[in-house]
A and B are shown apart, each in its own frame.
Chain A
Amino acid sequence: AQSVAQPEDQVNVAEGNPLTVKCTYSVSGNPYLFWYVQYPNRGLQFLLKYITGDNLVKGSYGFEAEFNKSQTSFHLKKPSALVSDSALYFCAVRSPITGKLIFGQGTTLQVKP
Chain B
Amino acid sequence: NAGVMQNPRHLVRRRGQEARLRCSPVKGHSHVYWYRQLPEEGLKFMVYLQKENIIDESGMPKERFSAEFPKEGPSILRIQQVVRGDSAAYFCASSPPTGGPNEKLFFGSGTQLSVL
Q: Are B108 and A103 in contact (CB under 8 A)?
A: no
Q: How large is the interface on B (under 10, 10 to 19, 20 to 34, 35 or more residues)?
A: 20 to 34
User: Least Cβ distance of A21 to chain B in Å?
Assistant: 13
| CB contact list, A13-54 vs B, under 8 A | 32, 34, 36, 41-46, 49, 51
| Chain B proximity mask over A101-113: 1 for CB below 8 Å, otherwise 0 | 1111110000000
Q: Given the complex, which residues of A lie within 8 Å of B101, measured CB to CB?
A: 32, 94-96, 99
Contact of A42 among B42, B100, B109 (CB under 8 A): B109
User: Least Cβ distance of B91 to chain A in Å?
Assistant: 6
Q: Are A100 and B107 in contact (CB under 8 A)?
A: no
Q: Given the complex, which residues of B lie within 8 Å of A94, measured CB to CB?
A: 101-102
User: Least Cβ distance of A29 to chain B in Å?
Assistant: 9
Q: Are A101 and B42 in contact (CB under 8 A)?
A: no
- Among B58, B102, B108, the one with the most A-chain Cβ atoms within 10 Å of its Cβ is B102
- B54 lies within 8 A of chain A by Cβ: no
